[in-house]
Amino acid sequence: MIIVNFMPAHKQAPVALWLLKKDVAAAAEKIKSAGAEAVLVPAGDPVATELASALGDAARVVECNPELGFVYANGSAAARTLVGEKPIPSHAEGEGDERCLSGSELLCADGKRWVWLEGAEAPVQMDATATVGALVEAAGAEDAKAVYVGYPAGALYKADDAAAEVVLGSDYVRVYTAKNCMANALNEICALYRHETCGRCVFGHEGSHQIATIVADICRKKGKPTDLALLRDLCPVMATESLCEQGRVMARTVLAFLDLFEAEIGQHFTKKVCAAGECTAFLTVHILASKCQACNACVDSCEEDAILGRPRFIHVIDQKACTQCGACLDSCEYGAIVTAGAVKPKCPPKPIPFKRK
């Protein structure tokens, strides 16, 4: 059984759906020539009706839950949708008779691949095997430090290895720069995998939960030195024992992040800093004495009484009481309130009298 999948694995990279909508009639012909029995599209999308009309009796058009994405790339899970059941895989793709064919792969020219770079408004067509340097250039990224190829590839490459070949086995590619925290990046990726686990096997379901919890704790300033060792123990077992490819790919992705960026991730619990300043738990709020006008607007906006001071005094933040709600930043019209990561601005330790210049 062949099923063509137009469900976006990554919501920000709906390549297959974008290609389908460009020319529904041409897509229908390719679906017919592939001998597909069914086609998966997001529920509620108008293209479903148009495609069903173009296909006629050649193949069924099945509307699926758009809240999921990864799981539809598995043939055994996709087959469940044909009988109105939840898309739960019974084995990894390629290990059974059901085959799920990617819509973007079907509609792409031989030797080419359409990929959606993070933040872009449309996909770009590239060679199916590109280089790290070509992807960084296509993304227009400055100070790039890593290239990530999303599910089902789950591959990570150092940006300075520009000549390394990358097999574009995913619709989604993201280039991380110096402004990005790799622990936070891994946390976001793990949350996606955790969202789509089916619960059919212990290693995939419980393993993804444990990994997502550990990585989230690292980003929440609750990490421990033993966390990385635990991840390195868990991931190899999960990569071989998970029932379907979701658990296997997740484990490989986590190991790739640890192999390339273990030192940066480890700083979150060894030095208690997030160098890139993306993990909000490591950010602190500060009032710059050089800009504060002692207007008291920030005091009025703060419900936690975290701002120390009174009218005609330059205020300071009580870091223990501050919840980083952002209300004070929005209230200050002078730009005197800032957030800081690893590098903190010099601020007075207590309120000081305000002197007008």
Rounded to two decimals, the pTM is: 0.85
Residue pLDDT, tens place only, 11-54: 999 999 999 999 999 999 999 999 999 999 999 999 999 999 99
Both structure tokens of 126:
């590239």
Is there a contact between 132 and 139 (Cβ–Cβ < 8 Å)?
no
The 10 Å Cβ neighbour count of residue 206 is 15
Which positions of the chain have pLDDT values less than 50?
A: none
Q: Which secondary structure element, helix H or strand E, spans residue 330, and what is its range?
A: helix 327-331
Question: Which among 152, 223, 136 has a CA at the least distance from the CA of 193?
Answer: 152
CA distance 138 to 23: 25
The pLDDT value recorded for residue 347 is 85
Q: What is the pLDDT of residues 154-184, one digit of tens each?
A: 999 999 999 999 999 999 999 999 999 999 9
